Amino acid sequence: MSLIPMVEKEGLLSNSLSQPTRKSTGPLKTSIYVLLALICTGTALYSVQPHFFCGGHVGTAGGDICPQPGVLVPSKNGALWKGLVEETYNSQEFHDRAVNWLGGAVRVPTESFDRMLPVGEDPRWDVFGPFHDYLLTAFPLIHTTLELTKVNTYGLVYVWKGSDETQKPLLLAAHQDVVPVNPETADVWTHPPYSGYFDGERIWGRGSWDDKSGLIGIMTTIETLLENGFKPTRSVVLAFGFDEEASGLHGASAIGKYLLETYGENAFAMLVDEGGDYMVEYGKVYATVGTAEKGYLDTRVEVASPGGHSSVPPPHTSIGILSSLLVHIEANPFVAHLGRGTPMYLKSQCLAAHAPGLPRSLRKSLTDAARSDKALRKAEEALFADPRFKALVGTTQAIDLVQGGVKTNALPESAWAVVDHRVATDSSIEDVQKHETELLKHLASAFNLSYTAFGKQISEPGVPAYGTLTIDEAWGAALAPAPVTPSSGDAAAPFNLLAGTVKATYEAHRNISDGNGDGVVVSPGIMSGNTDTRHYWRLTEHIFRYSHHYTGNQTWVAGGAHTVNEAIYVDSWLEQIRFITTLILNADESTSL
């Protein structure tokens, strides 16, 4: 077959090369066609992503860049799955039960706070007792069928034993706690923050989105499966921490140790916790699965200087010096770069492969980025025009706390601030410490401060100084970036199972009976924050942070997580239940995990 007529017939040449007429090509144009045909043939033969002039089809499931598995629906349990997702979950009876289950959970306040004392010493933990009582009453079959272990009093580990103990269990996680409601905002809420009010579309209240929808979604799914007589082949383990909003230091930390002692390292097939959602990006629906998390480091920057009466002030007080340091920190943020192989680079490749609305120039840069540094930097510049994308790629810093002084006529003897850092997946805690240490050196010298950074004396010891500058970890809770979960290659079976489950859920919820999964693209990525999975790294190499919430249209997003008017659309939550159901059934019969 002649390549030249095929290229011209299919209209695969770019507008800059083609002419408005289809008359004689002429020698020059014929030479161009031949050259392009050879290039396109070569890219196909050598599995290189074709350029736009080769007619690379956006949105297909094939290709080497961001390949997409097909829809994955249960086979052995196909009749049960179909009956649940197409009939039971569509019924008014189930709708009402689901609303009552989640609304009831929201009505039990379970706030957690930073720097709480251990369980048994701090009475604020007692709020979880009534929540456990609620779960016991709401889900009777779970509590008569599954094994329940309470870890550190309030951590919940449920075990649904499967018939085949040789298969690694599925681990599902969620957290019981919610961020506190500021009493000063109570009157601002459309409905009281712990009302669990249902307005016909949304369930309102703290935790309705983050993360009681996840916890109650899991419990609802399993209670329903039990009602329908399902008995798993693969065991399912549930891990519900109680202080995720305060870094999981008492809840998930203890649960992680318990599971490690009970099951051992890499004992679970995969772990799914709260996290990524799906939304419309560049004209395509993307489900972004968190395959990694950033690291975390809070640094305390403290200046101490002589006190005295403020009527005879020095040129700079400790507050003034601290202010200069903080301004300098903000003026010198970390430089972000899109690194090949990182989760957000892989996300950008999925945009290039499947998003029809992506600008042509950006698509070409992303396509070339695998082998061209220049193209990668050009793509990076375009993508970083979106501040959120840039923030997900690089290490960020935010000055969140500041304090100094005790009285207006007394010179402050000390002042301090805390800088919150979220450490890029291809960086480290050590990189952040080195950056901040070097950044403040010249100012420490300019203000004649003895300088200590992260336990090391930076300034020359023994030299008289006006005051001191100390930077160190604020709370002693630094966290390295998480290991990256495989999303391609031989180790990607769990990711592919999850992706196929997402596609099946998406189509089932919309009653798409003849779809092939092209309606939604599943992509690796990262979350902006951290989850309880930080305490579960040794349990499995396949950790996914994904909730299957739809956040692609403001008419669907209830919003308010961590602030006023937190709510969730019941339709979105029912789709989450469909997702959990499909995941459990798919994992149960999988032979690739």
Per-residue model confidence as pLDDT tens digits over 79-132: 999 999 999 999 999 999 999 999 999 999 999 998 899 999 999 999 999 999
Model pLDDT for residues 173-209, shown as the tens digit of each residue: 999 999 999 999 989 999 999 999 999 999 999 999 9
Is residue 391 over pLDDT 80?
Answer: yes
d(CA 162, CA 46): 45
Lowest mean pLDDT among 262-271, 333-342, 506-515: 506-515
Is residue 62 over pLDDT 50?
Answer: no
Is residue 11 over pLDDT 50?
Answer: no
Is residue 3 over pLDDT 80?
Answer: no
Which of 158, 171, 151, 157 shows the shortest CA–CA distance to 254?
151
Query: What is the model's pLDDT at position 528?
Result: 77
Is residue 524 over pLDDT 50?
Answer: yes
Which residues participate in the annotated binding site for Zn(2+)?
Answer: 175, 210, 245, 273, 562
pLDDT tier at 551, thresholds 50, 70, 90: confident
Q: C-alpha distances in angstroms, 139 versus 101, 224, 275?
A: 9, 9, 25
Q: Which domains does the chain have, with CATH numbers?
A: 3-54 (no CATH), 78-275+551-589 (3.40.630.10), 295-473 (3.30.70.360)
Is residue 230 over pLDDT 50?
Answer: yes
Mean pLDDT of the chain: 89
pLDDT tier at 553, thresholds 50, 70, 90: low
d(CA 587, CA 169): 9
350 vs 461, residue with greater confidence? 350
Query: What is the model's pLDDT at position 38?
Result: 39
d(CA 457, CA 399): 24
Task: Map tokens 């401060």 to a residue.
Answer: 449
Q: In the beta sheet, which residues pair with residue 452? A: 457, 470
Q: In the beta sheet, which residues pair with residue 468? A: 304, 450
Sign of CA dihedral 303, 306, 310, 313: negative
Query: What is the model's pLDDT at position 552?
Result: 66
Q: Name the maximum alpha-carbon separation found in the chain.
A: 93
Task: Summarize the chain as % helix, strand, coil (round to 5).
Answer: 40, 20, 40
Query: What is the model's pLDDT at position 273?
Result: 98
pLDDT tier at 497, thresholds 50, 70, 90: very high
540 near 306, Cβ under 8 Å? no
CA angle 334, 525, 213 (to 5 degrees): 115
Helices and strands (DSSP H and E) totals, the chain: 17, 16
Which residues participate in the annotated binding site?
Answer: 175, 210, 245, 273, 562
The residues, any chain, with a CB within 8 Å of residue 479's CB and separated by 6 or more, are 295, 296, 297, 423, 429, 530, 534
Model pLDDT for residues 400-421, shown as the tens digit of each residue: 999 999 999 999 999 999 999 9
Query: What's the 3-state SS for 24-87?
Result: CCHHHHHHHHHHHHHHHHHHHHCCCCCCHHHCCCCCCCCCCCCCCCCCCCCCCCHHHHHHHHHC
The residues, any chain, with a CB within 8 Å of residue 416's CB and separated by 6 or more, are 300, 301, 302, 303, 322, 402, 403, 404
Which of 518, 524, 574 shows the shortest CA–CA distance to 546?
524
326 vs 53, residue with greater confidence? 326
Q: Active-site residues: which are they?
A: 177, 244
CA angle 273, 278, 280 (to 5 degrees): 165
Is residue 337 over pLDDT 90?
Answer: yes
- The predicted model gives 304-316 an average pLDDT of 94
Is residue 166 over pLDDT 90?
Answer: yes
d(CA 377, CA 381): 6
d(CA 372, CA 51): 14
d(CA 576, CA 508): 12
Rounded to two decimals, the pTM is: 0.87
7 near 37, Cβ under 8 Å? yes
Query: What is the model's pLDDT at position 476?
Result: 78
d(CA 354, CA 58): 5
d(CA 86, CA 71): 16
Instruction: Name the strand (E) or helix (H) holding 257.
Output: helix 252-263
Long-range contacts, stretch 143-148, CB < 8 angstroms, 24+ apart:
145/226, 146/222, 146/238
524 near 489, Cβ under 8 Å? no
Lowest mean pLDDT among 149-153, 350-354, 474-478: 474-478
Query: What is the model's pLDDT at position 563?
Result: 85
d(CA 488, CA 51): 22
Query: What is the model's pLDDT at position 559?
Result: 62
Pairing mode of beta strands 155-160, 543-550: unpaired
